[in-house]
Amino acid sequence: MASLTKTLIIKAVSLVVVLIGVLVLLAVIMGATGLSDKMLKSMLTAEVQEYKQMLIRQGKDPEAIQKAIEEYNKTRAEALGIDKPWYVRLPQLIYRLLVLDLGNSRTLQSSWGSNKISDLILDRLPNTIILTTTGISLTAVVGIWIGLYIGSNIGGRADRVVSILSAVSYALPLWFVGLVLILLLAYAPKILWGVQIFPPGGMVSIPPPKDPVAYFLDVLWHLALPLIASFIVFFGGWAYSTRNIVFNVSQEDFVNFARAKGLPEGVVRSRYILRPSLPPILTNLILSLAFSISGYIITERVFNWPGMGSLYYDAIRALDEPVIFALTYVFTLVYIVARFVLEILYIVVDPRIRLA
């Protein structure tokens, strides 16, 4: 037991190192390329310009204005931290992130006008969970279920179909499938026959329905195309990887031994094949769910879905440094936590690790 705790602690420490490593890397990227300075300078110039306009409107004499502006410039530069080099400024940002103080954005705002990054995330995260996480859960459940079936029927027709689907899965970009579906199922019926079968994008109709049930159905209607797209793209991959895991386990000696012992096939399958297949399948599922938090940047754009992916893209476009840092941190943090949860889960589901 003591050795287990020790292993877990080592894992935890190395995951935290990874987390810090990601942030440091990001800081170096933003700092060493001069991007961070550039962003702050353009902000400072804008602020000072605004202040100057205000003073001029108040009708002060030019000399006093000049002096006031210099003073203002200095205090603002200090407040923004531009008087310090990036390798002094950015570590402070990293430290604040590590203690979960996400801070405020520079320009981006949540839908209710808040500048707090935690509000921005609260605003977008549910949308991403509705889209991405639902999509992954649905696809994974169906894919794993079919993969389990195929894994014990290798070489059949279903097996060949799934093998081809997995190749397609690797080669099909989700956003392109989204584009095709929007073109063929949303715009084509509308333009050619004048009926709107599916909406071309967005999360709810404008204006949104008042009645909660109608609202729910409306979101579901908007969700249909992205869900179909992610099912088409990811189904093959899930089924195929599950098939491989099950197939590899069923090649093991202990499975042959169980059969040789004369155990009924049902027992062999559930106790000797499925049980050891569980940890790697769980790994796939949990890591995908963790990754899903970051949303699909391009697909959210294609479907005009206001999720985390489009928030990140907006942050890059607007050069909103604190948001970029905070989101990268949150994405990595979720991933790291998922990895740690997995380590614990392994111990729970795999007696070979627990008893070793």
Partner 1 sequence: MIVKDFLKSPAGLAGTIILILFSLISLYVVATFPLNYGTKYWSNPKYWEDYPKLVPPVWLNYFVPYKLPQHYVNDLTKPTEEIGNVKKYIFTYNIDSDKFPTGIILKYMNLTFYGDVPVISLKVKRPDGREVTLIDFDGGIPPPRPGETPPYVRFVENSRTIILAADPQAIRKATAFANELGVTCTTTDVQQAGLVPYIVLGEPTSKTCAAESFKPLKGEYVFEVEMIGDPRDQLGMVRLVVQGAVYGAMGTDYLGRDLAQGLLFGFPVALFIGGVVALLATFIGMALGIISGYIGGRTDEAIQRFADVMNNLPTLPLLILLVFVLGQKLINIILVLVIFGWAGTTIIVRSMVLSIRSSQFVEAAKLAGASRWWIMRRHILPPVLPYSFALIILSIPSAILSEASLSFLGLGDPSIPTWGQILQQAFDNGALQNFAWWWILPPGFLIVLTAVGFVLVFFALEPLVNPRLRRQ
- Minimum CB separation of residue 178 from partner 1 in Å reads 10
Phi, psi for residue 252 in degrees, rounded to 5: -65, 155
Q: Which CB sits closer to partner 1, 268 or 293?
A: 293
3-state secondary structure 266-316: HHHHHHHHHHHHHHHHHHHHHHHHHHHCCCCHHHHHHCCCCCHHHHHHHHH
Query: What part of residues 284-343 is at the interface with partner 1 (CB under 8 A)?
Result: 291, 294, 297-298, 301-302, 312-313, 316, 324, 327-328, 331-332, 335-336, 339
Query: What part of residues 68-127 is at the interface with partner 1 (CB under 8 A)?
Result: none
Q: Which CB sits closer to partner 1, 4 or 167?
A: 167
Query: What part of residues 124-163 is at the interface with partner 1 (CB under 8 A)?
Result: 163
- Minimum CB separation of residue 170 from partner 1 in Å reads 5
Which tokens sit at 145?
A: 């279920």
- Minimum CB separation of residue 13 from partner 1 in Å reads 11
- CA 172, CA 261: separation in Å to the nearest integer? 45
Q: Which CB sits closer to partner 1, 14 or 53?
A: 14
Which tokens sit at 163?
A: 């093998």
- Minimum CB separation of residue 23 from partner 1 in Å reads 10
Helix (H/G/I), strand (E/B), else coil: 187 = helix
b/e sequence 208-230, b meaning 16+ C-beta within 10 Å: eeeeeeeeeebbeebbebbbbbb
Query: What part of residues 13-52 is at the interface with partner 1 (CB under 8 A)?
Result: 14, 17-18, 21-22, 25-26, 29-30, 33, 35
Q: Which CB sits closer to partner 1, 191 or 206?
A: 191
Interface map 198-227 toward partner 1 (x if CB under 8 A): --x---------------------------
246 CB-side CA count, 13 A? 23
- CA 138, CA 297: separation in Å to the nearest integer? 20
Identify the bridge partners of residue 104 per DSSP, sorted by sequence position: 116
Which tokens sit at 262?
A: 């004369």
Helix (H/G/I), strand (E/B), else coil: 116 = strand
Helix (H/G/I), strand (E/B), else coil: 81 = coil
Instruction: Please work out the total of residues on this chain that contact partner 1, with binding judged by CB under 8 A.
Output: 48
Q: Which CB sits closer to partner 1, 55 or 287?
A: 287
Query: What part of residues 224-253 is at the interface with partner 1 (CB under 8 A)?
Result: 251
For residues 65 and 58, is the Cβ–Cβ distance under 8 A? no
The reply to whether 192 sits near partner 1 by the rule CB under 8 A is: yes
- Residues at the interface with partner 1 (CB under 8 A): 14, 17-18, 21-22, 25-26, 29-30, 33, 35, 163, 167-168, 170-173, 175-176, 179-180, 182-183, 186-188, 191-192, 200, 251, 291, 294, 297-298, 301-302, 312-313, 316, 324, 327-328, 331-332, 335-336, 339
